[in-house]
Amino acid sequence: EVQLVESGGGLVKPGGSLRLSCAASGFTFSSYSMNWVRQAPGKGLEWVSSISSSSSYIYYADSVKGRFTISRDNAKNSLYLQMNSLRAEDTAVYYCARERRGATRNDYWGQGTLVTVSS
Amino acid sequence: EIVLTQSPGTLSLSPGERATLSCRASQSVSSSYLAWYQQKPGQAPRLLIYGASSRATGIPDRFSGSGSGTDFTLTISRLEPEDFAVYYCQQYGSLCSFGQGTKLEIK
């Protein structure tokens, strides 16, 4: 069974940093691109970042470019999101999601981890 | 950047009725890169449709997707009580983006 479990969320002050993790199991992690998607309270889904299976290709939304860094450790079946210079508008539930290629889509999602940026 | 606009923002229908949700792209999107998701309160999104018209594993056949170019549609042929939720379209043709969502509520 495919499982994605996020961790690392919490309360952080504006300007602070946080590192999110996503532990993957039930599939060959090293064969899939992975994404981070976030959802602010009461709002819609926003794509944040994508990383290819071997980390060769990395993409960011303009809203986080230069502040967030996506990475992965295929030996540990783990995906990460390093978030620096956090702002109030980064407050959201952050989901990791597996990217299925061919007809590209996110076929599995974690349960999400809440990041709150507030003083 | 491709902007996806969903309409209507809220759709009020009764169980048993047919629902038609629209997703319009600011520029043409390959059908291979258009997906639909369902999200219920407190839950992660669930993949419904990919490649504009292919149902994901385990999705009932009352859900169908269609469209091409800039106009895509999600149709729920006969609403069940569990179908009332928020629906999002997503494109991967140019990076990735989501529509703002359509809330399907019970009338």
Residue with tokens 């290709």: A57
Which residues in chain B are closer than 8 Å to A22, comparing Cβ atoms?
Answer: none
Band (A101; pLDDT cuts 50, 70, 90): confident
The shortest C-alpha distance from B32 to chain A (Å) reads: 5
According to DSSP, the residues that pair with A45 across neighbouring strands are A39
Q: Counting Cβ atoms within 10 Å, is residue B46 exposed (0-12), middle (13-18) or buried (19+)?
A: middle
Q: Is A45 on the interface with B (CB under 8 A)?
A: yes
Q: Is the pLDDT of residue B103 over 90?
A: yes
**Segment B16-47, tens digit of pLDDT:** 999 999 999 999 999 889 999 999 999 999 99
- CB-nearest partner of A45 from B46, B47, B98: B98
Q: Is A46 on the interface with B (CB under 8 A)?
A: yes
**Segment A15-68, tens digit of pLDDT:** 999 999 999 999 999 999 999 999 999 999 999 999 999 999 999 999 999 999
How much is the pLDDT for B31? Answer: 87
Nearest chain B alpha carbon to A38? B44
